[in-house]
Amino acid sequence: MKKSSDLFAAAILSIFLVASSFGQPSTVSKSASKFAKKNSVTTKANEVVTIERIEKDFSEALTLIQDNHYSGKRLEYNDLFKASIVSMLHTLDPHSSYFDSKEFEEFRSNQNSRYYGIGATINDLRDPSGKVIATFIKATFKGAPANRAGLRYGDKIVEVNGKPMLGKPYPVVRDELRGPRGTVAKLVVERYGTGKRENIEIIRDAVSTPSISDAYMFRPGIGYISMTGGFNRTTYDEFRRAMRKLKARGMQHVILDLRENGGGLVNQAYYVANTFLESGQTIFTQKGRQRRSARSFAADNPNPDNTPIVVMVNGSTASASEIVAGALQDHDRALIVGENTFGKGLVQNPYMLKYGSMLLLTIAKYETPSGRLIQRDYSDGNLYNYYTNGGTLDEKNKPKKRKGAEKLTDSGRVVYSGGGIAPDIYAKMPTISNQRYRIREKLSDPIFSFALNVAFRKVKGLERLTVDRAIVFDYDLKNNDFAIDESVYKAFKEYVIKNYKISAAKIDREKEFVKRSLRGELVTAAYGSQTAFRVHREYDSQLKRATVAMPEARRLFMQRQKSAKNRRNEQD
């Protein structure tokens, strides 16, 4: 036991030193070398800590665990190894982290806007007692292996690689469908319309997960870009294509939706912000210890786009997406609508380690053009508090008064540092009670079941809503496509009362939810899951508020243009 403990302690120590020397400037590597030579550091309390002491303490602790902990003989050394490193990093800041080789591969796949699998969304269907009947295909993605193999909405997954899947919830089926690129998934599916079973072989391959899930004309003259997939290697290229497409369709104003966008590659955020800012305008300033990490990043666009912008944000808008929102707000280039952003103002850099692992280390903090540091508080070093106590609402559910340093936008509007970016127009997403949430949960299976029957011509009188065909991608959804009128709602209510024993009163209370969800299901079957989100956006109160705010965004833009013209005239 003692030998393995010593080896483990040595491994922990070596990772600390390796992390300081791989992929960093020579100054950092030299510091690591000096530490290795001196074999000691002095703490603030003038206590000398040597490498030998660290090895000894760690080895003794691990030996005690091995000898006395009830699961000591079944230790997972990799888990202990990771936990030690991650705990060390989280004493520094909340966003430095360590990835083992498997996690690092997933990290790289996410940054490349893709993953490996069959490329389909699935969902299970439960009977009135709550027992899983089966898991079904809901949609495939354009060009993905599942789409090429002919899988369609309503296909019941009977077997995967010889394993029976009937009665299995979708997470179990999902895990069986996943696998490395180039491997084969052998499926037995039952077509919902005919009941016929088919054997289908799918070779797992790369599946695109774009940063921009959709871009379309939300209202006449108003384009909408859903940039909720993070900032990855393809983000700016996707953004340029989306802008070109919408302008060709008559876009005069644009809504850029950054809600749920947790950030990603800073250079991609720079390029997006650079689209709308003039050469020389600061996009963000990065401040760190390393020479290359301390600098300002200014726009270099001699012909910026002049489309008036509303940027939508919420509590999950973080990091790189806050760079975009902050830059456009500080330069009065966009109106920010929604809820306070998360408040992540730290920049990480990846450092490759041995055996394919990686250290993601915070190397700098960034400020918006006005000088705002938007990082939320982590002074107590408590991760739970960091992620849960950063809210910006008071007890009366109203925005809290900001306590950070006061800054000014280009036109003199007041903005504040600390705790994220406050929107110019606050719009909270409405919530529902727990009781209504439970009712909606109970209705989800009846909605899916009824939609399947409607899509495959099994409900008399609703044949006009049949979708017994493959998905048509890139469809421009019309208001009357799969409209759920009173005849459809009445048929649904009768179906649920008869088969699921849910009262008419409960169904009627959620009438809007039912009609929206039924239409979403049928649009999913016909045009795919991304197009189906357009149905739900019609009920999005924050998006409606952003649309109403567009004239104000235009006034802000015109005022900015006038001020810029006056400055140029004064210089002349």
Taking a C-beta distance cutoff of 8 angstroms, is the pair 158, 128 a contact?
Answer: no
For CA atoms 19, 295, 406, 272, the dihedral sign is: negative
Terminal CA-CA length for the chain: 80
Res 14: pLDDT: 40
- CATH number of the 214-426 domain: 3.90.226.10
* Class of domain 114-208 as given by CATH: mainly beta
Helix-, strand-, coil-residue percentages of the chain, each rounded to 5: 40, 20, 35
Kindly write down the DSSP assignment for every residue of 388-440, as one continuous string.
Answer: HS---B-TTSSBPPP-S-EEE-TT--EEE-SSS---SEE-PPP---HHHHHHH
Taking a C-beta distance cutoff of 8 angstroms, is the pair 122, 128 a contact?
Answer: no
Taking a C-beta distance cutoff of 8 angstroms, is the pair 328, 276 a contact?
Answer: yes
377-396 per-residue burial string, b: 16 or more CB within 10 A, e: under 16: ebeeeeeeebeeebebeeee
Res 100: pLDDT: 87
Q: Look up the pTM and report it.
A: 0.86
Res 30: pLDDT: 37
Res 103: pLDDT: 83
The stretches in the chain having pLDDT less than 50 are 1-37, 393-395
The secondary structure element, H or E, covering residue 57 is helix 51-68
Distance CA(269)–CA(321), nearest Å, equals 7
Closest CA to 211 of 201, 225, 191, 198: 225
Rounded-to-10 torsion of CA 276, 277, 279, 281: -160
Res 497: pLDDT: 97
Taking a C-beta distance cutoff of 8 angstroms, is the pair 236, 113 a contact?
Answer: no
Per domain, the residue ranges of the chain are: 2-75, 114-208, 214-426, 434-539
Contacts 24+ apart (CB under 8 A), 62-69: 62/4, 62/5, 62/8, 62/9, 63/1, 63/2, 63/5, 66/1, 66/4, 66/5, 67/1
